[in-house]
Amino acid sequence: MILCSNPRAQYLSNKEEIDSSIQQVLSKGEFVLGENVHFFEEEFCEYIGTKHTVSVGSGTDALCLALRALGLGPGDEVIAPSHTATATIAAIAAVGATPVLVDSELSYYTIDPLAVSQAISSKTKAVIVVHIYGQPVDMDGITSVVRQNNLKLIEDCAQAIGSTYHNRRVGSIGDLGCFSFYPTKNLGALGDGGSIVTSSSSLAGQLRKLRQYGWDKNRVSQITGYNSRLDEIQAAVLRVKLKYLDRDNAKRATLAKTYERELNHLPLETVTTRQKCSHVYHLYVLGVERRNDLVAHLKSNDIVAGIHYPVPTHLMPAYVQRTRPSLCLPNAERIAKKVISLPIYPELTESDQDRVINALKDFF
C-alpha cells in the first residue's frame, strides 16, 4: 500500500537517534517544559529567523493563543481563507471572534489579497493567511492591505514549515507565525505539538503566560490562560528531525518535479508555483474532473490519494451561520470539487512514485 503521507517511514528513517533522545528524556525524568523544550525553542527561532518561539500543545492551540495574545475575541472580525484546514477557522471561533471567510486565487489556491481588502469592515482586526500545501501566500499583496488598514497579520504555517517567500522563512513575516507538529507535517512529532513564532517580546511574553494558566513568574494568574504545553519527549524528537528538515523538504521538491514532468500531458490542473518562493510540498495537489473515479482507481492499485479538502469551510454547517448563509466563493468551491493529493513524503521511493505515475497514466 502506498500511503498519501507516511509518519512511520519518517520515524524509521531516524529511528536510532529518535529512540536514544526519547530514552534520555525518560532517564532524566523531566517531562514537561524542560531542557529539550528550551533548546528546541532556541533552535526553531534560529531556523525561522524570529526572536521568539513559544511551543504549545498543537497547531490549533497555536492559532488560538496567537489570537488571544493579540487581544482578539467577541465582537472582532478575523479574515481568513475558506479554502483551508478546518483548524484555522475553528481557532477563530474558539476565541469567540467572527471568522470572515474569503476566496482564494485559482492559480495558486492561496488567499486572494483583493478578496481580503473587499472583506474589511469597521470590526476587522486581523487577517490569518494560510500557506496551504507548503506554498507561500502572496505576502506583498497581503502586507500592503494589512498595513493600509492597520490590521494584525497571523501566518498559519502548519503546512509550510521551511518554505520561503523572497528569501524569508514563512512565519517570520507577519506579527505571529503558527506551526503544527502533527505527525504527518513536514516537521512532525510523535503526537500533537505546535508553536508560535514572533519577534515581538511583548507578544512572546503574553503567549508564555497564556500557555500556562496565565501565570507570571510567581505562578500568579495575571490573565486567564490555558494549559497548552509541548512535552519533553515531543521536543526531543523535534530537535532530531529539525536537523534533517531542509534535506527532507528538498526530497519532497524532487518528487514534486518528477510528478510535474511525468504528468504534464494528462488532463490535470496543476497549481502554479509562486515566483521567488520555495514550496515545501507538504501535499502535492492537482485539480481533476471525475475525482471519485480516480481515487477509486488508485485505491484498486493500492495507492491512497487524499482530498484536502472536500468541503470549503464557508459551506460547513458549523460555520455557515457565522459567515453569511448565502456566501458564494466560486474559487474555493471549485477547488474543493476537484482537488486531489498524491502520495508525497521524503521516504517515498522512486519505484513507488513510478507506480503512482503509471496508475494515473492508466486511468486517462
Ligand X SMILES: Cc1ncc(COP(=O)(O)O)c(C=O)c1O
Residues lying near ligand X in the complex (CB under 6 A): 58-60, 84-85, 87-88, 130, 156, 158-159, 180, 182, 192, 194
Angle (nearest 5°) at CA 127 between 122 and 133:
155
Q: How far is the CB of 228 from ligand X (least distance, A)?
A: 10
| CB 69 within 8 Å of CB 54 | no
Nearer to ligand X among residue 59 and residue 346 (C-beta): 59
Q: How far is the CB of 39 from ligand X (least distance, A)?
A: 21
C-alpha to C-alpha distance for 105 and 277, rounded to whole angstroms: 16
Nearer to ligand X among residue 159 and residue 234 (C-beta): 159
Q: Which residues pair with 339 in a beta bridge?
A: 287
Q: How far is the CB of 179 from ligand X (least distance, A)?
A: 8
Helices (H) and strands (E) in the chain, counts: 14, 13
Strands (E), the chain: 52-56, 77-81, 98-102, 124-130, 152-156, 164-165, 168-169, 176-180, 194-198, 269-270, 277-278, 284-287, 339-342
Q: How far is the CB of 361 from ligand X (least distance, A)?
A: 30
- Position closest to ligand X via CB: 59
Q: How far is the CB of 35 from ligand X (least distance, A)?
A: 23
152 SS3 class = strand
Cell digits of residue 182:
502533527
Nearer to ligand X among residue 58 and residue 98 (C-beta): 58
Place of cell 474558539: 94
| CB 113 within 8 Å of CB 141 | yes
Nearer to ligand X among residue 83 and residue 125 (C-beta): 83
Nearer to ligand X among residue 316 and residue 357 (C-beta): 316
Q: How far is the CB of 209 from ligand X (least distance, A)?
A: 21
Q: How far is the CB of 80 from ligand X (least distance, A)?
A: 10
Taking the CB of residue 295, how many other CB atoms lie within 10 A of it? 17
Q: CB under 8 Å to 29, separation ≥6 — which residues?
A: none
C-alpha to C-alpha distance for 86 and 71, rounded to whole angstroms: 22
